[in-house]
Amino acid sequence: MKIADLFKVEGYGVIVTGGASGLGLGFTEALAGNGARVTMLDIDEQRLATETERLRKRGYDVRGAVVDVRDHARLDQAFEEAVQAYGRLDVVFANAGIDSGPGFLREWVGANRTRNPDGALENYSDERWNKVIDVNLNGVFATMRAAARYMKPQKSGRIIVTTSLAALKCEAVIGAAYMAAKAGAAHLVRNVALELAGYNITVNAIAPGFFVTNIGGGHAHNPETQKTVSKHVPMHRVGFPRDIFGLALFLASPASAYITGQQIVIDGGWGLGEVD
């Protein structure tokens, strides 16, 4: 066998939650661009339609379904529709997520690292906490559960969860609910990996650092923000969705067949510390 054959995903049935933008769109393009058949689930109907049309024009086998991962019944229905369309389910990316608003400091870096009352623990509302947990943790659980229902009988599959560098280190400018949800998802990955290992189903996580996506109101698209953050990343730049293509393909393909329960950080070295 040629080593390149280990990375083949042609014909695979794939589902990506939050698949119409950001890293989810990156996962979609990485898999569809290598011959997989991908269903993008997303809450944004207009963006979903736009990206589905764009990718189909490129010759990719993609379809879209409007889904809010907080609606577990609709999520289950979308899984059933995708499996009916493809006749199989090989890979699921549990990627959908939202930000949780500000943390207790105003800025990651710079002179304005002052306390932020809007992110203070005593001012955190139940509504804000519950919404983030419901999407970023409960949504991951529901996605993994739906995947297991199809993968266990066939005794094969890949489940890949988007966590965050925030699951591994404290970030004062990120809201507490996001931190808790991502850390919870990371531990859930390990537990589900242990449960499903005997069924030849691998369960792993991708933990991104600072990537240019629409999360957090899209502030990452601001060139000044990118310039400021880049100074503190050892590789001296921020991440873009294309930077995640290789890792996504690796974890979805036979190349990662003996890896499970792992969280792989992709952050340009930011989690290691700062250098000049």
The CATH number given to whatever domain includes residue 237 is 3.40.50.720
pTM score of the predicted model: 0.95
**Token pair of 150 as six digits:** 């199809």
Is 271 part of a structural domain of the chain?
no
Is 55 part of a structural domain of the chain?
yes
Is 276 part of a structural domain of the chain?
no
Q: What is the mean pLDDT of residues 10-25?
A: 97
Query: How many structural domains comprise the chain?
Result: 1
The catalytic residue positions are: 178
Is 180 part of a structural domain of the chain?
yes
Residue 204 has pLDDT above 60, yes or no: yes
Is 274 part of a structural domain of the chain?
no
Residue range(s) defining the domain that contains residue 231:
3-266
Helices marked H in the chain — which ranges? 22-32, 45-57, 72-86, 126-133, 139-154, 176-196, 223-230, 245-252
Among 7-21, 30-44, 95-109, 193-207, whose mean pLDDT is lowest?
A: 95-109
Is 272 part of a structural domain of the chain?
no
Percent of the chain with pLDDT over 90: 80
Q: pLDDT tens digit string along 79-130?
A: 999 999 999 999 999 999 999 888 998 876 555 678 889 889 999 999 999 9
Residue 224 confidence (pLDDT): 82
Is 218 part of a structural domain of the chain?
yes
Is 49 part of a structural domain of the chain?
yes
